[in-house]
Amino acid sequence: MKGRPRKIKDCTIVSVHVAQKDWDQIKDLATAESIHTGMVISGQELIRHAIKFTYGDNERLRECFRRSRAAARYI
């Protein structure tokens, strides 16, 4: 593999489509987080943190799936 070395070893690359309005909000949040922590936080890194927080343990993962199934019944 040529190019930049990966920050995360043993990873999978995914592509996510996000509405421009949402991406602008993510960038604003990343900027605020960077100012708060004193470290540069990218939008991509913020998304990684959010995924890890949401799905980091099986209990939260089960709860998210339970809620999504319950919400799908009303659509």
The answer, yes or no, to whether residue 4 has pLDDT greater than 80, is no
Residue 1 has pLDDT above 60, yes or no: no
CA distances from 68 to 4, 15, 36, 42, 75 (A): 37, 22, 33, 28, 11
Helix orientation angle between 58-73 and 43-55, rounded to the nearest 10 degrees: 90
Structure confidence at residue 75 (pLDDT): 61
pLDDT for 3 equals: 66
- Report which of residues 10 and 42 the model is more confident about: 42
9-34: average pLDDT: 90
- Residue 49 is predicted with a pLDDT of 86
pLDDT digits (tens, 9 = 90+) for 39-53: 999 999 999 888 887
Map residue 57 onto helix, strand or coil: coil
Q: What is the gyration radius of the CA atoms in the chain, in angstroms?
A: 16
Q: Are 44 and 65 in contact (CB under 8 A)?
A: no
**Which amino acid does the sequence have at 40?**
V
